[in-house]
Amino acid sequence: MLVSPALPLAIPVPGTVVDAIRIVRVDLFVVRLPLLRPFTTSSHRKDHLDHILARVTDQDGATGWGECASPTDPFYGPENLRSCWNALTDYFAPALLGAGWQHPTDLPTAWGHIQGNRFARATLDIACWDLFARRQDRSLADTLGGTAAAVPVGVSLGIEPGVEELLAQVERYVAEGYRRVKLKIAPGWDAAPVAAVRERFPDTPLQVDANGAYRDHPSHHAVLRELDGLGLAMIEQPYPADDLLAHARLQRELATPVCLDESVTTVHTARTALALGAGRIVNIKVSRLGGLTEARAVHDLCEQAGVPVWCGGMHEFGIGRAANLALAALPGFTLPGDLSGSDRYFRTDVVQPPIRAHDGTVAVPTGPGLGVEIDQDALRGHLLRSTVLT
């Protein structure tokens, strides 16, 4: 059993503390990008993504950008695009506009009375980290304490219409050099297609992700035990997020590591999950954890406990993707993340320069802040809705 050490929510980062910052304006934009091909998981299918982008401006005119990568509907978790928009306009942005802070780790004080809504919370957390780093003319990765110049990346593949279509997708991305392949699974689409991929690609690092689609039931146990024999790197989130005891029982039965995703929403839930032995690997997602501050705290917790972590994604646009890369530059991220190039999903993105993968790695941006700039033409061309709060 892994028992993790107690860690504070905000862990100081080396660096110069600037004078008090006050956000005087928050711009919110709903932007739609079509996907190159539909993506299907155990809960839903999508052919486009609507994300909220945020720009914060401080009293000196400095700006920072953040992204809300919440799904449009409450299938991955309880939040959705509409709930995030309301939470940002009614609660988080007003609380931020009324607060002074010196470091992004101070932000929980501004909105600590607001419960949950972690995708909405992450939007402004990322934007304030970007602004803070830009004011110091430092990259976000350096500001967070990251050291890697590039990070190894894998690719996440959705549920396909048939096995042959799946094999063709795997072959394409293996040929492009991605370091591992993740397959979405669901009851009825699990052992057989995964076995087919393993047979065709015996040496490719392979993992599966159920997004909580299975239940603590003998018929599902049999499928998961069958997957256990296919030489997988991990089985991600087989059971619902709140069923940690079922994950712990399953992990005791399997040789394959169980990876927790939706179950880990704070550093506290991470500590509980590790103490229960509910998994041996943690997927850290900036959006799911409410931003970079909490994501870094979970990274530090797992690093001290000797638990491998990797950076997961929510099909972010370039802003969120750059934030993920900055986080993944931290030393505890030892496994390939879901940080493939933007061109894996989108014909156009909203940032320049575009984020691209080369030989299974993506370079960590080195420019100030996120290291990318907004493509104003792309933003206007894909804009659905906007508002300004002052």
Specify the higher pLDDT residue, 160 or 28. 28
Q: What is the pLDDT of residue 43?
A: 59
Confidence band for 112, pLDDT divided at 50, 70 and 90? confident
Higher pLDDT, 313 or 89: 89
- Nearest Cα residue to 8 out of 281, 271, 220: 271
What pLDDT shows up at residue 39? 66
Residue 65: the pLDDT is: 98
> Regarding beta strands 21-40 and 383-389, do their DSSP bridges make them parallel or antiparallel, or are they unpaired?
antiparallel
- Secondary-structure class of domain 21-137+378-389 per CATH: alpha beta
Write down the pLDDT at residue 74. Answer: 86
d(CA 100, CA 119): 22
Flag whether pLDDT at 211 surpasses 60.
yes
Active-site residue identified among 280, 285, 315, 321: 285
In this predicted model, what pLDDT tens digit does every residue of 266-279 receive, in sequence order? 999 999 999 999 99
Backbone φ and ψ of 91, nearest 5°: -130, -60
Q: Which two tokens stand for residue 189?
A: 């689409």
Q: What is the mean pLDDT of residues 87-99?
A: 95
Tokens at residue 262, please? 């939706």
DSSP string, 8-66: -SS---SSPPPSPEEEEEEEEEEEEEEEEEEEE-SS-EEEEEEEEEEEEEETTS-EEEE
Packing angle of the helix pair 191-200, 163-175 (nearest 10 deg): 40
- Yes or no: say if 362 and 150 are a contact pair by the CB < 8 Å rule: yes
Per-domain residue ranges of the chain: 21-137+378-389, 142-375
63-to-22, 131, 380 alpha-carbon distances in Å: 11, 5, 18
Q: How confident is the model at residue 1 (pLDDT cuts 50, 70, 90)?
A: very low
- Residue with the two structure tokens 């009825």: 188
The rounded distance, in Å, linking the Cα atoms of 254 and 260 is: 15
Which comes out higher in pLDDT, residue 275 or 98? Answer: 275
pLDDT at 192: 96
Buried b (16+ CB within 10 A) or exposed e, 268-303: bbbbebbebbbbbbbbbbbbbbbbbbbbbbbbbbbb
Is pLDDT above 80 for 284?
A: yes
Among the ranges given (60-69, 76-85, 120-129, 320-329), the one the predictor scored with the smallest mean pLDDT: 76-85
- CA–CA dist 31, 16 (Å, integer): 34
Please determine, for residue 14, whether its predicted confidence score (pLDDT) is greater than 50.
Answer: no
Give the per-residue pLDDT at 190.
95
Mean pLDDT, rounded, for 95-121: 93
Mean pLDDT, residues 82-91: 97
Q: Name the superfamily (CATH) of residues 142-375.
A: Enolase-like C-terminal domain (3.20.20.120)
Catalytic residue among 135, 184, 220, 271: 184
371: left (phi over 0), alpha (psi -120 to 50) or beta: left
Residue 148: what pLDDT? 97
Residue 344: its pLDDT value, please?
80
Q: Catalytic: 285?
A: yes
Interatomic CA distance for residues 28 and 38, integer angstroms = 27
User: With contact defined as beta carbons under 8 Å apart, do 4 and 271 qualify?
Assistant: yes
CA distance 270 to 77: 17
Domains 21-137+378-389 and 142-375 belong to one CATH topology: no
pLDDT (average), residues 32-43: 77
- pLDDT of 341 > 90? The answer is no
- Of residues 108 and 129, the one with the higher pLDDT is 129
Which residues share a beta bridge with 49? Answer: 33
In the predicted model, what is the mean pLDDT of the chain? Answer: 91
For residue 260, what are its two tokens? Answer: 């927790």
- Known active-site residue 46: no
pLDDT at 223 over 50: yes
